[in-house]
């Protein structure tokens, strides 16, 4: 599961989820992307780095090493947002000053339902954190915008949409502790992600 600063990918839709040879995928890993001299590398090199130097990512690196292709999410400019299941990209990292929103993504080697359940639970938890108003009653507006997933070579072929109207309706309401408190749940697709069918994971 990953989170990204939505303002970074503003105007860079559609996103593409695909798979390529490890050595062809260049990105700035979240853990070292801040370093100008060696913050960008191909996935093969980062796998080696993680196996030898990063015990927290070693297991994920070994999993990716055993995959024939590298699953990745990138925007329309080619900026790699995440490499699954190893790391998010540094450029799109979510920070404390993400004023314009957060993009959530999830992949699984099991099935689409696993991803849906995890993301729905995360959104529900976020709503719960807004239950207690700060002193003075700060207004809250939560906007959940669905993402449509389509086939990369036939964008008329919809593969999935998340969240669906029913999934939006299942989310808990924001507590009505102030007149300014609002929650908006869109039931129409706002963004587009393209999925290549030869990818190794569900999303």
Within-domain flag for 98: yes
Q: What percent of the chain is predicted at pLDDT more than 70?
A: 78
**What is the DSSP-derived secondary structure letter of residue 179?**
T
Give the pLDDT band (50/70/90) at residue 135: low
Q: What percent of the chain is predicted at pLDDT more than 90?
A: 49
Residue among 149, 132, 111 at smallest CA distance from 13: 149
Range of the domain at 173: 2-19+73-195
Name 100's Cβ contacts closer than 8 Å, sequence gap at least 6: 5, 6, 7, 10
Within-domain flag for 139: yes
Within-domain flag for 29: no
Tokens of 115: 């991803």
pLDDT for 20 beyond 60: yes
pLDDT at 142: 77
Query: Which element (helix H / strand E) includes 193?
Result: strand 191-195
Residue among 34, 27, 12 at smallest CA distance from 194: 12
Within-domain flag for 201: no
Within-domain flag for 24: no
Residue among 137, 99, 103 at smallest CA distance from 15: 103
Residue among 147, 152, 156 at smallest CA distance from 194: 152
Task: Domain count for the chain, please give it.
Answer: 1
Within-domain flag for 56: no
Tokens of 188: 């129409």
Q: How many residues can be counted in the chain?
A: 203
Q: How far apart are alpha carbons 118 and 169 in whole angstroms?
A: 16
Do residues 130 and 142 make contact, with C-beta atoms less than 8 angstroms apart?
yes
Within-domain flag for 44: no
Within-domain flag for 177: yes
Question: What does each C-alpha distance from 24 to 19, 69, 104, 107, 143 come to in angstroms?
Answer: 10, 10, 25, 21, 36
Q: What is the pLDDT of residues 152-193, one digit of tens each?
A: 888 888 889 999 989 988 888 766 544 444 444 443 333 556
pTM: 0.80
């Amino acid at each position: 599961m990953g989170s990204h600063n939505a303002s970074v990918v503003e105007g860079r839709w559609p996103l593409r989820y695909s798979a390529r040879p490890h050595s062809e995928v260049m990105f700035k890993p979240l853990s070292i992307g801040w370093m100008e001299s060696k913050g960008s590398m191909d996935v093969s090199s980062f796998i080696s780095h993680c196996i030898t130097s990063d015990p927290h990512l070693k297991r994920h690196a070994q999993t990716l090493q055993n995959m024939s292709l590298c699953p990745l999410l990138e925007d329309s400019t080619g900026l790699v947002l995440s490499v699954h299941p190893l790391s998010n990209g540094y450029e799109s990292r979510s920070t404390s000053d993400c004023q314009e929103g957060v993009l959530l993504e999830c992949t699984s080697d099991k099935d689409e339902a696993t991803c849906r359940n995890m993301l729905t639970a995360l959104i529900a938890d976020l709503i719960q954190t807004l239950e207690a108003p700060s002193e003075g009653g700060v207004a809250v507006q939560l906007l959940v915008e669905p993402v449509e997933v389509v086939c990369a070579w036939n964008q008329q072929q919809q593969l999935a949409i998340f969240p669906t109207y029913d999934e939006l309706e299942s989310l808990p309401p924001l507590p009505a502790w102030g007149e300014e408190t609002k929650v908006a749940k869109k039931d129409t697709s706002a963004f587009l992600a393209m999925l290549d069918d030869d990818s190794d994971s569900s999303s």
